[in-house]
Amino acid sequence: MFYILILLSVFGVNAKNANMTELFVIPIHPQHFNWTLKGAVDEFSYHPSLLNAPDLPQWIHYVYSKVHHTGYLYGVPPINQHNLELEIVGLNRRTYETRRKVLPVNVHRKSEVAKYEAQLKIDNLNVEDMIDENRQRRLLDVFKLKLWPESKSDLYVTFLASAVQLGARLPLKPNEGEGVVLRVGSQFEFSSALIELQEEVKPLWKLISCPRDFKRTTVDRLFREEGFALDWCAFRLMTVKETDRSLSQQHSSHGESDLMESHLTLGLGQNDRWSRPAKSQIPQRSYVHEFAFTILVPMLVMILLVVLLSLILCFHHEGMDEASSEYFESVFDIFEEMRGASDCNTVYCRPNPPPYSGPNRKQVVAEWLA
């Protein structure tokens, strides 16, 4: 154990702690790799992954903030998650130097797991904005002090994801926030204020597209005073059961997406607009019917038409020959009558005119000289 501590101190590895069902954030700075800023602030990039694996676990995400010039690892450990080690590879884009750091993450079982959760969608912020501890504290204070005072002792963030990753559209203006979906949970039951708020916004759930400028809730000003513009069509209150968490763990072991995992963990309804379905739930489309209707059916119709026209021509061939022979015979009769009418004995027959004979040239000259 002593030698392990010496190695950890030499390589600058500090273990991070995380609690099950609670959001944790790990910032990544150049100082973690013993780099000093000599040029541009964004000259460093980072690639995190699970140790001896090509990618991160499904419940851990990475985002880089150009505002803070820092990378962030964030996620919510599921139930029965064991300790793990992350590998972070840093790249200096100016010198192309790479450095590696192994980061142990110790996952602890939370003593009081949230049984009641409230879902929010904030339109004017991004994930890297909600990672900020001060902004999280201001949001939790709105619930602790005004809407859900019973949860003052144990309220925490149980889920955080970008609204775009969950199916929302990108904003029209690049400088606007993409939107973030989060959930806060506690072991205490919902207050009467939260229940009344859900009844107030429940008619909005029937809308196909929610108006972004809807501000008619009685508590909207409480959030806007703290800088949060909420999409009230996304507000939900939900009760989390232990069986739901176990089910989400099974889906995670079978390779389901992290979004589907959170969808099952938190017991969302089937009409949730941001929950992306799992790959196994996407129906597979068969092209047999399309092939039959687009190619085979027109070919069969064309073959039937060709056969029908051939039969008509075959059965009507003799009748058409009789009519054509009668027509040609009548034409020949007309020519014969015309030939008979061209005899010289008829009144209209005239002899051919005599050849032209003009005056003699010598005679004309003699007359002119005389």
At residue 282, the pLDDT reads 79
Domains belonging to the chain, first-starting first, are 10-108 (2.60.40.10), 116-269 (no CATH)
At residue 36, the pLDDT reads 81
All residue ranges of the chain with pLDDT < 70 are 1-13, 39-40, 208, 211-215, 242-277, 316-325, 327-329, 331-332, 335-370
At residue 76, the pLDDT reads 95
At residue 258, the pLDDT reads 42
Backbone angles phi, psi at 59, to 5 degrees: -95, 5
Q: Are 72 and 46 in contact (CB under 8 A)?
A: no
pTM, two decimal places? 0.64
Q: Does residue 365 sit in helix, strand or coil?
A: helix
At residue 28, the pLDDT reads 93
At residue 311, the pLDDT reads 84
49/47 Cα distance (integer angstroms): 7
At residue 276, the pLDDT reads 63
Q: 159's torsion region: left (phi>0), alpha (psi -120 to 50) or beta?
A: beta
15/167 Cα distance (integer angstroms): 34
Buried b (16+ CB within 10 A) or exposed e, 29-39: ebebbebeeee
At residue 271, the pLDDT reads 43
At residue 64, the pLDDT reads 93
At residue 277, the pLDDT reads 67
**44-100 pLDDT tens trace:** 999 999 999 999 999 999 999 888 889 999 999 998 899 999 999 999 988 899 999
At residue 17, the pLDDT reads 94
Strand partners, 183: 119, 159
